[in-house]
Amino acid sequence: MPIIEAKGLTKTYRVFQKKDGLLGALKGLYRREYKTVRAVDEVSFTIEPGEMVAFLGPNGAGKTTTLKMLSGLIYPTSGSARVLDFTPWDRQDAFRRQFALVMGQKNQLWWDLPASDSFELHREIYSLPAAQFNATLNELTELLGVQKLTKQAVRELSLGERMKMELIAALLHQPRLLLLDEPTIGLDVVAQVAIQKCLKEYHARRGVTILLTSHYMRDVEALCSRVLVITHGKLLYDGELSGLTERFGDEKIVKLEFAEGTPDDLARFGEVTRTDEFTADLKVERVKIAEILGAILDRHAVADLSVQDPPLEQVIARVFQEGKDAHDAA
Amino acid sequence: MSSATRYFRLIGSLGRYALARELSFRGNFLAKVSVEVLWLGILLAFYRTIFARTSSIAEWSEPQYLFFVGCFFALNGLIETLFLENCDGFAELVRTGDLDFLLLKPIDEQFLITCRRVDWSTAPNVVMGAAVMVLSLWQMHWAFEPARIVAFFVSFACGVMIAYCFMLMLTSVSVWMVRNQGLMEMWWLFSSLARYPKEIFSHTWADPIGRFFTYILPILLVVNVPSQAMVRILDWRMVGFTLLATIVLFWVSRKFFQKALRSYRSASS
């Protein structure tokens, strides 16, 4: 049975349209104009237990709104969802005990107190047995390397350390489902890698299901094999990460090394994205790759070559752009 | 562990952490306590000046009125300690979206939102109010009557709950308004009404106002009924009505709060 099942999930908002200037503000006192925004539009998907799925989309695409509906924070305008076999927006205690939501831009720990106090309060709220709580806390602090920081006031921790504490707080009750909304936003590379490593390790140990949104493709590549792509509230793609490149990446990068120096007629084969004395990178249409490689090898002395997919960021940017164009055209 | 025990334990833990947090800002804590002590001193000095020129205010003798003031101070202090900061901060939770984390916890949302922080700086008001009440009883040579004590504690608890219910309804509006700076003003109006004996509304034109705030919006029951029961006339019908009003108000305010939460949109991240 799927751990998450969303069917035609839709959320619309009425947004007040403020008019410019004082006169506009005064008019707004007696007559207000609203615009209906379709933040999430008929989104359907399922996630099986133990999966790690990335939810990708540009800002305002509807990722966070979907996560908030799945966690029961907001009610959908239409559609239905079953999460852990509950209707999330009923917000039953038995449901809330089994999942956690981490938001990279928000802080749920008591700001002026050590994280350990927030963890203790968490234990009380979730009625966790002391032995289980201590064992999980030790495991997580060790995994994230923050054993010595739990007694320090949260406000005195760095952003990366704070995020690690947030993650610990979210995992203390051993949720079966972890919803992560940009957990590495604003973090340096070292902290990002530490969070990724922890999530990977924790997933391997506990088999927790993870649904992650992130703008960092490194997070996605490191953690998820399946992705959901959403733009303008509509689900554009649901499938393997590798399939995303095949479906939307219609170009390949050819890296060439020449034995007798880089020739100056490379532009005829494709778009030259980088060049120096002996090497060059070419962007070539996927369907013409064999033909073009044959032509280059016929004409020039090639010492080495490799064919690569374009970086995931470029593919994603292209997907988002296509989604925007389709939305604008409609 | 039973549900009630769990919630009592949680109140204890929340209170403990709030005290630890408060004491880490010692100067701020002491300043707030000093202001409250000063405020009570001014209030007592003011009534002492009035009673130097008259023997009663609205049929209340000086010791009886002193008891009334002590009761108001203790009750108001209890509400401010337990609920005011939480309710006042609710609009900010809605505006910033930090309410999300409270709604995710497997616990009654109303409890967590309205009781999560104990404001210890106003807790001394409860003790000071109690001391003023004891002093007034001593001054009037109050004869021990268990029935009056029972009626007092029941109606005092109801008074706290009535005030809490009004505060909850006022704060719930924040979900639709997002900015709700009027809460503190409304609370000030509420406490201004509650702090005087209802007999001040006995004149012809004021009588309907008094009835309105007794039977429709029962703000005047909050301090009047426990004080009356203890030092003036013990009217069990009024105590019963206060209890009934509390139950009805609690039900209405809880439904209103839940309806407000259904409209919560959560700020974007």
Residue-wise pLDDT for A82-122, tens only, equals 999 999 999 999 999 999 999 988 888 888 888 999 999 99
Can you give the pLDDT at residue A93?
93
| Dihedral sign (CA A134, A138, A140, A144) | positive
Which residue does chain A place closest to B7, by CA atoms?
Answer: A125
At B202-229, the pLDDT tens digits run: 877 888 999 999 999 999 999 999 999 9
Name chain A contacts of B268, Cβ cutoff 8 Å.
60, 64-65
Q: Which of B103, B63, B72, B120 is nearest to B226 (CA)?
A: B72
Say if the Cβ atoms of B106 and A96 lie within 8 Å.
Answer: yes
Which own/partner contact pairs does B51-56 have at CB distance under 8 Å and 24+ positions apart?
none
At B119-141, the pLDDT tens digits run: 988 898 999 999 999 999 999 99
SS3 letters across B96-135? HCCHHHHHHCCCCHHHHHHHCCCCHHHHHHHHHHHHHHHH
Indicate the CATH number for domain A4-238: 3.40.50.300
List chain B domain ranges.
Answer: 3-262
Name chain A contacts of B1, Cβ cutoff 8 Å.
127
Please provide the average confidence, as pLDDT, over all residues in chain B: 89
Name chain B contacts of A166, Cβ cutoff 8 Å.
none
Selected residue with higher pLDDT from A142 and A313? A142
Taking a C-beta distance cutoff of 8 angstroms, is the pair A214, A220 a contact?
A: yes
Instruction: Tell whether the model's pLDDT for residue B268 goes beyond 70.
Output: no
Question: How confident is residue B269, by pLDDT bands cut at 50, 70 and 90?
Answer: low
A250-308 belongs to CATH 2.60.120.10:
no
Name which of B13, B262, B266 is nearest A68 (Cβ-Cβ).
Answer: B266
Closest-CA distance of chain A to residue B262, Å: 7
Task: Report the percent of chain B where pLDDT is more than 90.
Answer: 50
List chain A domain ranges.
Answer: 4-238, 250-308
Q: Which of B237, B196, B234, B230 is nearest to B215 (CA)?
A: B237
Which residue does chain A place closest to B96, by CA atoms?
Answer: A106
Task: Report the percent of chain A where pLDDT is more than 90.
Answer: 42
Name chain B contacts of A91, Cβ cutoff 8 Å.
103, 109
Q: Which two tokens stand for residue A35?
A: 């615009």
Q: Which two tokens stand for residue A211?
A: 């649904």
